[in-house]
Amino acid sequence: MPASRLVLAARTEKIAPFQTMEVMKRAIELEVEGRSIIHMSIGEPDFTAPPAVLAALASAMEKGRAQYTPAVGLARLRQAISDHYRTKFAAAVEPERIIVTAGASGALLLTMAALIETGNELLLPDPSYPCNRHFVSAFEGFARLVAVGPLERFQLTEALVREHWSDVTRGVLITTPSNPTGTSIGESELERIIAFCQSRNGTAIVDEIYQGLTYDHAPTTVLRNAGANDPVVVINSFSKYFNMTGWRLGWAVVPKSLVPVFERLSQNLFICASALAQHAALACFEPETIAIYEARRDEFRKRRDYIVPALRALGFSIPLMPDGAYYVYADCSALAADSFAFARDLLENAGVAVAAGRDFGRAEPERWIRLSYATPISKLEEAIRRIGQYLAERRGSEAAA
């Protein structure tokens, strides 16, 4: 039989590999060869689901609660998330507006399916979470990256949104605290951006996946001030604060008028999020489980307070103290001309896996690396020791040459 040519959709060409996952792949290869690697590339908590969540999973399995759930999620889980907004964030969010999804990724996919048409644009900060660009392009839209820096806390501002808005712009996508920078947007700036979007019939998509992981101020939500009919879609997840990355569970909070749209999309694209994960996630909101999560948050704060000064002492420039998530976006331009090559050298020679800026944007990515401190302090100390030793050896060989 003659070999047939597989014809792919052109959009596949626009989906770049997620380099951080590629780094992880190489790190695992090195580990298989027997090398010791400290993982600071991937954005995944080292903590796993607390005991009550595991017990709830076991009970759900035993009772056979694994059938499809409603496309928008279990009513009890939507209620529990709504209660969580009320008790923890003083935000009134009707359970009917909460759509349970397969992770924040599922929520982002539904949101783009609902809002983006061919040729539409969304404004995103540069740097930002790489997959966001591809969620937009999967629906034939375009993610317009707007360069931001320390001056803007690596977040969009109303002035930048106004400047870059065009006839085809449908809204903004803001992650707060940010991945890769760990910096949050100011509440009033975000409100100004939302008001501007509203004035242009656009939508503000606010990804709060790192909600709860803030260290210098109380955790918050844009939903405290946004009304049920405002053009704001909030994305969230059980992956980060709740330490359940592989369980694939998240949610979106959508304006009332969009609930039937998201329901239809979810019915068709996913049927529902994992039933077992949903039953188990009910235990996330029990007071003892929240106490565990809060203790872990304190641990993340300690790690941040250790790693930032330690990196600065090695010659990295960290212009802003990250106030949330578990990332440090470090300027390595005083140490290396190209952060991609530098990240590769750190992995191959020092056994420390970090993510290079290239993943996160186009505005001077060669200056930056992202380090995830979702790993115990003892390992962070070892990483700092190894990076220090690598830099000293490199200086030594450069001096000898």
Q: Could you tell me the smallest distance in angstroms from the CB atom of residue 215 to ligand PLP?
A: 17
Give the binding-site size for ligand PLP (rule: CB under 6 A): 13
E strand residue ranges, 127-264: 142-147, 169-175, 203-207, 232-237, 250-253
Asked whether the beta carbons of 73 and 236 are under 8 A apart, the reply is no
Residue 154 pairs in a beta bridge with: none
Burial class (CB in 10 A: 0-12, 13-18, 19+), 191: middle
Q: Could you tell me the smallest distance in angstroms from the CB atom of residue 240 to ligand PLP?
A: 7
Residue nearest to ligand PLP (CB): 103
104 or 384, CB closer to ligand PLP? 104
Q: Could you tell me the smallest distance in angstroms from the CB atom of residue 233 to ligand PLP?
A: 13
Rounded CA separation 228/161 (Å): 23
- Please report where in the chains the tokens 């993610």 appear, as a residue: 143
Asked whether the beta carbons of 154 and 183 are under 8 A apart, the reply is yes
Residue 277 is a binding residue for ligand PLP (CB under 6 A): no
Q: Could you tell me the smallest distance in angstroms from the CB atom of residue 182 to ligand PLP?
A: 11
Q: Using omega within 30 degrees of 0 as the cis cutoff, is the peptide bond preceding 177 cis?
A: yes
Asked whether the beta carbons of 110 and 131 are under 8 A apart, the reply is no
Residue 250 is a binding residue for ligand PLP (CB under 6 A): yes
175 token code pair: 């992650």
24 token code pair: 């992880």
353 or 387, CB closer to ligand PLP? 353
Q: Could you tell me the smallest distance in angstroms from the CB atom of residue 124 to ligand PLP?
A: 11
Residue 116 is a binding residue for ligand PLP (CB under 6 A): no
* Near ligand PLP by CB under 6 A: residue from 19, 41, 43, 153: 43
47 or 385, CB closer to ligand PLP? 47
* Near ligand PLP by CB under 6 A: residue from 82, 95, 123, 129: 129
Find the binding residues for ligand PLP in span 142-201 (CB under 6 A).
175, 179
Residue 245 is a binding residue for ligand PLP (CB under 6 A): yes
Q: Could you tell me the smallest distance in angstroms from the CB atom of residue 179 to ligand PLP?
A: 4
CA distances to 105, 173, 261, 378 from 112, rounded to whole Å, are 11, 11, 12, 41
Binding mask 200-229 for ligand PLP (x = CB under 6 A): -------x-x--------------------
Rounded CA separation 88/158 (Å): 28
Nearest Cα to Cα of residue 134 among 145, 125, 143, 144? 143
Binding mask 76-115 for ligand PLP (x = CB under 6 A): ---------------------------xxx----------
Find the binding residues for ligand PLP in span 338-397 (CB under 6 A).
none
102 or 336, CB closer to ligand PLP? 102
74 token code pair: 């279990």
Sheet with 368-372: strands ordered across? 327-331, 368-372, 355-356
Residue 239 is a binding residue for ligand PLP (CB under 6 A): yes
Q: Which residues bind ligand PLP (CB under 6 A)?
A: 43, 103-105, 129, 175, 179, 207, 209, 237, 239, 245, 250
